[in-house]
Amino acid sequence: MIEKNSKILIIGANGFVGKNLVNKFKILGFNNLLTPSSKELNVLDFEKVSEYFCENKPDSIIFLAAEYGGVNACKVNAPEYLSKNSYMALNVLNNAIKSNVHKFVYISSATIYPENSPQPIKEEYLLSGKLVPSVEGYALAKIVGTKLTYMIGEKYRVPYFTLVPTNMYGPYDRFGDPNSNVVASLIWKIHYAKVENKPYVELFGTGTPKRDLLFVEDFVDAIIYFLLNYNGNDWINIGSNSEISIKELALLLKEIIGYKGEIYFNRNYPDGATRRLLCIEKAKKLGWEPKINIYEGLEKTYKWFLDKIKIGG
* Active site residues per annotation: 138
Nearest-angstrom CA–CA distance, 272 and 186 = 16
Contact 104, 159 (CB under 8 A): yes
294-310 vs 216-229: helix crossing angle, rounded to 10:
110
Nearest CA-CA partner of 161 in 26, 36, 15, 60: 60
Classify strands 200-204 and 103-107 as parallel, antiparallel or unpaired: unpaired
Q: Does an H or E element contain 275, and which? A: strand 275-276
Q: Are 237 and 171 in contact (CB under 8 A)?
A: no
**Euclidean distance between CA atoms 247 and 210, whole angstroms:** 9
